[in-house]
Structure 1
Amino acid sequence: MNVLEVKNIAQKYQAENGETIAIKDVSFSAAKGEFISIVGPSGCGKSTLLSIISGLLKPTDGEVYVNGSPVLGVTSHIGYMLQNDNLLDWRTIYKNVLFGLEIRKIKTPENVARAEDLLKKYGLFEFRNNYPSQLSGGMRQRAALIRTLAVNPDLLLLDEAFSALDYQTRLTVTDDVYGILKQEQVTTIMVTHDIPESISMSDRIIILTQRPAEIKEIMPITFDMETRTPLSCRNNPSFSRYFNHIWKELSIYE
């Protein structure tokens, strides 16, 4: 069974000049541990689609299922990360990581132990008593990811999650995040406007048309290498072929 099933999603809005169709008949699925990116022209409805998958927005038509259960609203089965890490400046990194467990009222000894294990596994345990302002942008993003993973979501949604970082930090962070998500086998859907980022991190890329957004193509991404990382993908000969294809598909909307 797939972790995520998106079935015939459509979204319409009432405007002064009539009905506006934002998304039209979008369907796809994601398997356990799969990383899928969604790209498309600016304003085509990528973030709207992510809001529907997360349960924050009810679609006009269609259904979303996570592990076979319908998504009818915000649920602990889905984690959501935005471009701002949203760490609380007055709480230590340790208390920030536990914050999700607290607000969901699942701060059990087992879940706290899992959060501590994630901090240790991904190099932040020695900084657990530091405050967010004392950490680099990359470390803050790692802490935000650990906070999200601590509640053990079945599905992770990333909405331009790295766009606030400078270019060099962004390259390092995508390597970090990719390694964590693959090791933890977390199914991930990422919306991004950055084509190289989508290629370097994804197992598949969904290319959307301009509004109303429909799926133009679902593109498998494979690299012939023993150990794949986002940074190594950028240096692979196949990278430019993928980039040129996606660029061509999107440039017709410029």
Structure 2
Amino acid sequence: MSYIVEVQEVGMKYQSPNGEIIALENINFYVREGEFVSIVGPSGCGKSTLLSIISGLMSSTSGSVMISGEKVSGTSKKIGYMLQKDHLFDWRTIYQNVMLGLEIRNSITPEAKERAIKLLKTYGLYEFKDKYPNQLSGGMRQRAALIRTLVTDPQILLLDEAFSALDFQTRLVVNDDIYAIIKKENKTALLVTHDISESISMADRVILLSKRPGTVKNIYEIKFKNTNRTPLSSRDAPEFRNYFQEIWRGLDVHV
């Protein structure tokens, strides 16, 4: 079977005033097309560093990453990145913010404009396209940020703590919204999160990293009997508690 993402023997070392720091060591995993994979681990274990390496924003010191069979050697149009903050520009309308990535790539075409409008209509933001970010709720802003990413038509979405800036209630709603959009658009997604519940509720598999130097400690297949699952319904599933306890034990966090 071919995989859309293959991480092979990836390691990352930094030089600091106190000597060499090994952030990641011997990371191996794959992601299937259309799969949603979450990455969890203790603070400082290299989760965000790993996403930066997969995206091509950072080069690993050992190993390699393959995207659709091609070795990553820099940033790629196949990958879209969503960060913790939505990074919408307050002086641009929602439509102008959505078009920003296409502007940067000099790729604004009639087809791209049509796609942007279709996404805004499909996901309930068309009537707000001429509003400014400070006129939208946190959940709507995050939806706009995702549409900005989707309008460039990436194959893979990298979500780096993309929901952690939201309050808990908004976060639950946005989890459902973003999950539905990603599945409807048939995108492959990797989510880095410190929230175990979030990782389980959204993912097909959860990758657990060890404390630094981060390495793959375990990979959990997440399966629920409910075939029409959503992140919110997954939290109510009887299997959810067992997954949570297993991953929590795997984290081995002492406070």
TM-score range, shorter chain: over 0.9
What's the offset of the Cα at 1:72?
A: 1.1
Structure 1 distance, partners of 2:234, 2:41, is 21
**Residue 132 of structure 1: aligned partner:** 133
The one-letter amino acid paired with 2:48 is S
The one-letter amino acid paired with 1:2 is Y
Pair 1:83-2:77 in alignment: no
**Residue 173 of structure 1: aligned partner:** 174
**Residue 231 of structure 1: aligned partner:** 232
**Residue 117 of structure 2: aligned partner:** 116
SS of the residue aligned with 1:225?
A: coil
Pair 1:94-2:102 in alignment: no
- Note the aligned Cα RMSD (angstroms): 1.0
Unpaired segments of 5 or more residues in structure 1? Answer: none
Is the 8 Å Cα contact of residues 38 and 205 (structure 2) preserved in structure 1? yes
What's the offset of the Cα at 1:15?
A: 2.4
**Residue 104 of structure 2: aligned partner:** 103
> Per the alignment, do residues 133 and 252 of structure 1 end up closer, same or farther by CA in structure 2, a change over 3 Å counting?
closer
**Residue 207 of structure 1: aligned partner:** 208
Is the 8 Å Cα contact of residues 210 and 253 (structure 1) preserved in structure 2? no
**Residue 8 of structure 1: aligned partner:** 9
What's the offset of the Cα at 1:253?
A: 5.7
What's the offset of the Cα at 1:13?
A: 1.2
SS of the residue aligned with 1:6?
A: strand
Alignment deviations for residues 129-188 of structure 1 (CA, whole Å, 9 cap, x no partner): 111111000000000000000000111101100000000000000000000001111111
What's the offset of the Cα at 1:251?
A: 2.3
Structure 1 distance, partners of 2:205, 2:125, is 30
The one-letter amino acid paired with 1:153 is P
The one-letter amino acid paired with 2:52 is S
Aligned residues: 254
SS of the residue aligned with 2:150?
A: helix
* TM-score with structure 2 setting the length: 0.97
The runs of at least 4 aligned residues of structure 1 exceeding 4 Å deviation read none
**Residue 62 of structure 1: aligned partner:** 63
The one-letter amino acid paired with 2:163 is F
**Residue 244 of structure 2: aligned partner:** 243
**Residue 27 of structure 1: aligned partner:** 28
What's the offset of the Cα at 1:252?
A: 4.7
> Per the alignment, do residues 129 and 8 of structure 1 end up closer, same or farther by CA in structure 2, a change over 3 Å counting?
same
SS of the residue aligned with 2:99?
A: helix
Unpaired segments of 5 or more residues in structure 2? Answer: none
The one-letter amino acid paired with 2:244 is F
What's the offset of the Cα at 1:226?
A: 3.1
Alignment deviations for residues 179-207 of structure 1 (CA, whole Å, 9 cap, x no partner): 00011111111100000000000000000
Structure 2 distance, partners of 1:198, 1:226, is 18
Structure 2 distance, partners of 1:246, 1:60, is 29
Structure 2 distance, partners of 1:93, 1:67, is 32
The one-letter amino acid paired with 1:104 is R
